[in-house]
A = this chain, B = another copy of it.
Amino acid sequence: MTNQDLIKSLSIPTPSKIVLLVIDGLGGLPNPKTGKTELETAKKPNLDKLAAGGICGLSDPVGPGITPGSAPGHLALFGYDPVACNIGRGALEAVGIDFDLRPGDVAARGNFCTMDKAGNVTDRRAGRIPTEKCAELCKLLDGQTIDKVKIFVQPVQDYRFIAVFCGDGLSPALNDTDSQHEGVPPLPVNALSPEAKATAAIANQFIARARTVLAKQHPANMILLRGFSEKPNFPSMQDIYKLKSASIAAYPMYRGLARLVGMEIPKTGAKIKDEFKTLSERFADYDFIFMHIKPADSAGEDGDFDRKVAVIEELDSFLPQLTALKPDVLVVTGDHSTPAMLKGHSWHPVPVLLSARYCRPDKVTQFGESACITGGLGRLSATQIMPLAMANALKLNKFGA
């Protein structure tokens, strides 16, 4: 029996409410000048107050040393084994823009790119063309049929799009055409298993047509495809936890992830204050709300220590709106670390705090990486956070006689 099966066998519906507040890329590394991380630098009286009254720890989204992508980072927080539940990029992007991906469809993540006369990629992101231009170009490619397979092309953001192949007998066992390098041609699509030969041929025809159609569209005169994949089939949060759940997330990918585990997706504005407004308005409707705060990760990715600090401070200023709703359990954590020093996701464990009436408070009084080392949750797997939240909400029956 997996741990998820065990939790499923014990979970019961109750009126209690859980909020999981995910500050994307929360964990950091110390600023060499001060010895303090982004989270430790931020003035965040409300988070510190929660930490003081709650129980803290450090969590590993996938495992020590493993740097998680956004999908495994979130699936682990929802209590799903992030390795067993690994999702392809194409499927993830498709569900993230509300594309109705169905079993059997094969989705790829696309980049518009710039190609020179010799056929070498000179810019993998086509000068980062704006979303409007991307949408215009997608229309040129959308809706074709090749060998009875219909191909949908839809914009995501900036130079990013999805291509979804819909038809019978397709297989996602295909390599990326994006070599991740510039100065070389795109790779041809090859079948990675015999069943994928027909799909590979269709994908190559599609790419050849795109090259022709886009020939005069400099800088976006070519496409790169990667992450060919199908829609995964996960049990829902309702199945496992008996939770009526919702995701408040401004960014498409996180809504897509939430939808894959059966969460509802109330409409929300893009700013932190908009998300808190949505939370207040919709709090009564759900047992579980996952709230996603993106800009901390973006600042970390940009290497902007101070901006990440400012995002955490801004978030903190809205927290009283959340605590005023009196959720029975509030968990604040991240899906992974994004230290400004590394300008990217990292393997470092993520601070986590759980605030609930029946938690056993520890001596941590500040929410930060160093303080969390000594917290009562200790070092835990991110997949253990949902069971703890469920227990603290009194939503898990006793195990065994």
Contact = CB atoms under 8 A, between A and B. Distances in A.
B67 A360 contact: no
A227 B88 CA distance: 44
Contacts of A58: 378
B369 A82 contact: no
A349 to B, nearest CB: 8
A66 B389 CA distance: 11
A347 to B, nearest CB: 4
Interface stretch (A68-76, A194-202, A285-293): A68-76
A396 B362 contact: no
Contact of A346 (B227, B358, B375): B358
Contacts of A73: 400
Chain A interface secondary structure, helix, strand, loop or mixed? loop
A384 B341 contact: no
Interface in A317-376: 339, 341-342, 344-348, 358, 360-363, 369-370, 373-376
A314 B384 CA distance: 36
18 contacts: A1-B83, A6-B63, A64-B384, A64-B387, A64-B388, A64-B391, A65-B392, A65-B396, A67-B391, A67-B397, A69-B401, A70-B401, A83-B399, A88-B401, A89-B401, A92-B401, A362-B370, A374-B374
A32 to B, nearest CB: 10
A63 B373 contact: no
B390 A65 contact: yes
A358 to B, nearest CB: 6
B369 A341 contact: no
Contact of A345 (B67, B72, B398): B398
A227 to B, nearest CB: 6
Given A358-B341, A379-B379, A66 B396 contact: yes
Listed from nearest, the 8 A-B pairs whose CB atoms lie closest are A65-B387, A69-B400, A89-B401, A72-B400, A65-B391, A378-B379, A347-B391, A64-B384
A37 B362 CA distance: 12
B10 A66 contact: yes
A205 interface: no
